Amino acid sequence: MQPKKELVTMEEINWRQDWEEARAEAQKANLPLLLEFYLDGCPHCSRLATETLKDPAVVKAVNERFIPLRLEGRGHMDLVRQYQVTGAPTTILFSPDGQEKHRFVGFQTAEEYLKELEKGG
């Protein structure tokens, strides 16, 4: 008797938690890296997380086309300074080899977010 296979549904973005691991994974998989900086207590960040980043079309696009990484800015000030992040939320799209391709700042609707992904992915 074969083991029962579980149906995997992508209801959420498969966020990575570690900068170096995500960069290595993006390079190995030859996929762009999506880096989302947020701040705890930021209303626009919260709205992006609970609305836009839960939208099924956004979840599908991010999970299929990017290695996604979400970091709280205050806990990663080295990266905030390195990439000159001045607002939250900030999304930066990198090529698989680590070159910044596009960035966008602030809240976007799902439709706007998908358009921004096209510019850098």
List the pLDDT tens digit at each of the 121 positions of the chain. 444 444 444 589 999 999 999 999 999 999 999 999 999 999 999 999 999 999 999 999 999 999 999 999 999 999 999 999 999 999 999 999 999 999 999 999 999 999 999 998 6
Cβ partners under 8 Å of residue 29, min gap 6: 67, 96
Identify the CATH number of the domain in which residue 30 sits.
3.40.30.10
Residue 110 lies in a domain: yes
Q: What is the pLDDT of residue 11?
A: 84
Q: What is the pLDDT of residue 121?
A: 65
Residue 8 lies in a domain: no
Dist. CA 80–CA 86, nearest whole Å: 8
Q: Using an 8 Å Cβ cutoff, are 107 and 42 in contact?
A: no
What's the longest Cα–Cα distance across the chain? 57
Domain containing 82: what range? 19-120
Residue (of 27, 44, 38, 60) closest to 107 by Cα position: 44
Cβ partners under 8 Å of residue 107, min gap 6: 44, 47, 48, 52, 89
